Amino acid sequence: MYYRVLLDGIDEVTSKIDPLEFKKIVDIIKEARRIYIIGAGRSGLVAKAFAMRLVHLRKRTFVVGETVVPAMRKQDILIAVSGSGRTKSVVEIAKTAKSIGGKVVAVIGDRQSELAQCSDLIVEIPVPKVKDVISSYDSRQLIGKITLAPLGSLFELSAMIFFECVIAELMRKLEISEEQMKREHTILE
């Protein structure tokens, strides 16, 4: 089945995430007074899902671009999510956050990107780079390298799983149960 191929790809990527980077992002979030989250496109959707879980953990969290976002202050953190690390809007926001004294955490697929260069912490979701991917579906099929994650999906799916693991570790460190998180979930639906 197709899902097994996709899950194997996600497993391959997530197993290569540096455990030290995982620990550092957990520690930064645990101590943060205010957290700002940004991403664009599908990475932005993953970032918003992560922001929601941080709110459930009672962390003051804001999604950049929403109308109710307060001004960022020194020592607040920005978590920027970008598979390429080159999305102009995300890079510009990261540079702005850095210029006012905020800490920038980049969750990216390319450690050599522009976003990485302006970040205090890089968490690399090590997806294959475009140059490393055989572009023809037929060629991939011949050598047994079938992928079902077009246009960055492998980054986004792996990042989502990474963020869920961060939430699980924060639950443990902050001693917040799922029942306590549930109380923070919206009831206005």
- Hey, what are 95's tokens? 């540079």
Q: Is 156 a catalytic site residue?
A: yes
- Hey, what are 180's tokens? 């306590």
Tell me the angle at which helices 41-56 and 153-174 cross, rounded to the nearest 10 degrees: 10
Distance CA 51, CA 62 (A): 7
**Contact in structure between 161 and 153 (CB atoms under 8 Å):** no
Tally of CB atoms within 10 A around 183: 10
Which entry of 21, 114, 124, 156 is annotated as an active-site residue? Answer: 156
Distance CA 123, CA 134 (A): 25
Burial class of residue 91 (count of CB atoms within 10 Å of its CB; 0-12, 13-18, 19+): buried
Q: Considering only the C-alpha atoms of the chain, give the largest distance between any 2 of them, rounded to a whole number of Å.
A: 53
Report, as residue numbers or ranges, the catalytic residues. Answer: 156
